Amino acid sequence: MSTPFPFTAVVGQDDLRLALLLNAVSPAVGGVLVRGEKGTAKSTAVRALSALMPQVDVVPGCRFSCAPDAPDPACPDGPHEVGPGVPRPARMVELPVGASEDRLVGALDIERALSEGVKAFEPGLLADAHRGLLYVDEVNLLHDHLVDLLLDAAAMGASYVEREGVSVRHAARFLLVGTMNPEEGELRPQLLDRFGLTVEVAASREPDQRVEVVRRRLAYDDDPEGFATRWADEESDVRARIVAARKLLPSVRLGDGALLQIAATCAAFEVDGMRADIVMARTATALAAWAGRTDVLAEDVRQAALLALPHRRRRNPFDAPGLDEDKLDETLEEFAGDEDGSGAPEGLDDTDGTDGSGDSGDSDGSGDDDPDPDGPGGGGGRPPQDGSDDGGVDGGDGSGEVPAQGEAPANESENGRAPSPGAGEQSPVRAAEPFRTKVLSVPGLGEGAAGRRSRARTEHGRTTGARRPRGALTKLHLAATVQAAAPHQRARGRSGPGLVVRRDDLRQATREGREGNLVLFVVDASGSMAARQRMSAVKGAVLSLLLDAYQRRDKVGLVTFRGSAAEVALPPTSSVDAAAVRLESLPTGGRTPLAAGLLRAHDVLRVERLRDPARRPLVVLVTDGRATGGPEPVALAGRAARLFAADKVASVVVDCESGLVRLGLAGQLAGELGGTAVTLDELRADSIAGLVRDVQSSSRGNSQGNSRKAA
């Protein structure tokens, strides 16, 4: 085993080290979620912590690490007699992102259970991590059902494995640490809430500190054992301090004043449920024990809030994590009791106790509102079919778009003044409020990653049939197994009650659930979209679809086209909040290179198909269908669209055309794509209900009109 990097040699990252140590003192805190950019010592610090964990005594030969002085009475390897144990280091178990459910919770041999009546159970990673540390790198990339199992076991202190009526339970108490890079996608708020503490980490911007990081890392790489020896005394001191804090923890008193501050803080920040209050109480108690005190002070409550609340305030993936420290201080001061609330909790070093989580701020990251939404880049009307000049009727910005009736030309603002320099491109407009969208799905039956959008063959879901097992049997179809075994009972010597089941009789259940897709947004950002003041509504619609993609576990990508070319604003990713940021700053104006946008999207799908062939794509094209720029723009766009139809790529065209006179170009484009077209209004999930209300209102109006005529 390689020598781990010493925990005390990690430069900076005080909040990360403190959060890990608090969980080492009190695993009941509920684990740590470490969020931050790559290369910030997340994994290094977690692996280094395992060397500081005190040794544990285990029952000899027990695969589940039972404590010899209080063995688990339901241990599958038990029952165990109380007696002397064998000491060993606390384990650190790593859960790989691609792990299966059986690898996590353990596997039951269904064949032996049915044929021999034996509960043959092979322990999983949860059993290995009992009384140790379980580390999940890139936890945001772990399948949701595995995260649910993991967090349930961490909360209950036990793991349950059930397969077709055969059940096994074993203890599973461990320190849970997850790390993630937010750029690769967020965890759901429900899963975030299950982690006790969260820490935001970032690389230092101080040159001296960065130099020290490099110096220590190079020294460690040159001689790991020698480097660890130089830090052995500091490691021993921290290890002894953890042991002392654990012993002191039961004696720490959480007074009514501290409890009131905890409750008031959680109420002030409007966190959901009561888990935050409980975690804050346990964290504040662990902070006092770590500092060698038996009373919880206001400073402990403040530090506990900074670690336990930021991730619990997120309502959707577009909310920035963080905590308003001014508001926190005001709340603590308002509900202060006799304790002295000044100062910072004692940590590893003589630090200032800053939390490093940052402030959520009030900025939404968007540009200023456009003071002239009908400004340059506008246009409407029917474009020339061949891309040639249209007799001088032009928007004035070279876009080739014709202003609709009543609209200002593209080279003139609403008040008649000439546009400012560089006004061929409008400043970004703010997106309208998102709404709940209709369900868009890929037809057919897929086999991609688990999600919530399109039908797929999955390990979880409703049973749709049975087949002979290919490899190990995981999901038994009991009725099909009995049906296969029943005709052979007389030949097998069975004349009385009961059933003789052999391996050839076993049947694997086939199940149907839902998969996540690659939703590729292809957004028209040309002048014709901006002139009608539609870009705000269009951005709101795309934002709504992004939120829907987040909820359905999709990957998303963003291609935009305007002017003379198209660009990949965001390559396919699981981070929908990154897509929302790109969308918010999207500029508009210029011609409509529709063919270029479609060809760029087709190229993105080709590359992504090589990377993730099982994930089926859904193309969402947001446009009014007008194609301008270049020779034969409409014909070229049609040929590009037919490439998607030839590849059988599912597509939806969101028709953004408005006004009394509509050309229906988006509908024609949807036909070329082999997909469907919906308007912005039809995209809403309640559009049918709205239509019914409109019909009812119209019927009542007609009835009243007829009554007046009759009178």
Residues annotated as part of the active site: 275
Residue given tokens 């290995």 in the structure block: 128
Provide the angle, in degrees to the nearest 10, between the axes of the packed helices 576-584 and 535-551. 170
- Write down the H helix ranges in 372-505: 478-485
Give the integer Cα–Cα distance in Å for 295 and 203: 35
Report how far residue 46's alpha carbon sits from residue 421's, in angstroms, rounded to the nearest whole number: 54
C-alpha torsion 265→266→268→273, nearest 10: -170
Cα–Cα dist 320/325, whole Å: 15
Instruction: With beta carbons less than 8 A apart as the criterion, state whether 535 and 656 touch.
Output: no
3-state secondary structure of 132: coil
Structure tokens at 60: 């000899």
CA atoms within 13 A on the CB side of 216: 18
- What does the alpha-carbon distance between residue 614 and residue 616 come to, in Å, rounded to a whole number? 6
Element (H, E) at 214: helix 207-222
In Å, what is the CA distance from 222 to each residue of 2, 168, 229, 500? 13, 47, 13, 64
Backbone angles phi, psi at 20, to 5 degrees: -65, -40
Task: Read off the amino acid at residue 11.
Answer: V
Between strands 508-515 and 450-458, the pairing is antiparallel
DSSP for residue 549 = H
Measured distance CA(212)–CA(201) in Å, rounded: 17
- Rounded CA separation 54/87 (Å): 10
Q: Rounded to an integer, what is the distance from CA 216 to the centroid of its chain?
A: 34
Q: Which residues contact 702 (CB under 8 A, 6 or more apart)?
A: none
Backbone conformation region of residue 528, classed left if phi is above 0, alpha if psi is from -120 to 50, else beta: alpha
d(CA 329, CA 305) in angstroms, rounded, equals: 11
The C-alpha atoms of residue 658 and residue 452 are separated, in whole angstroms, by: 32
* 199 within 8 A of 307, measured Cβ to Cβ: yes
Give SS3 for 113: helix
Q: Cα dist. 644→115, 316, 443, 525, 640 in Å?
A: 52, 32, 15, 21, 7
d(CA 92, CA 390) in angstroms, rounded, equals 72
Cβ 33 vs Cβ 199: under 8 Å: yes
Return the closest-CA partner of residue 216 out of 1, 12, 2: 12
Query: Alpha-carbon distance 30 to 151, whole Å?
Result: 9
Q: How far is CA 502 from CA 110, 214, 485, in A?
A: 12, 62, 7
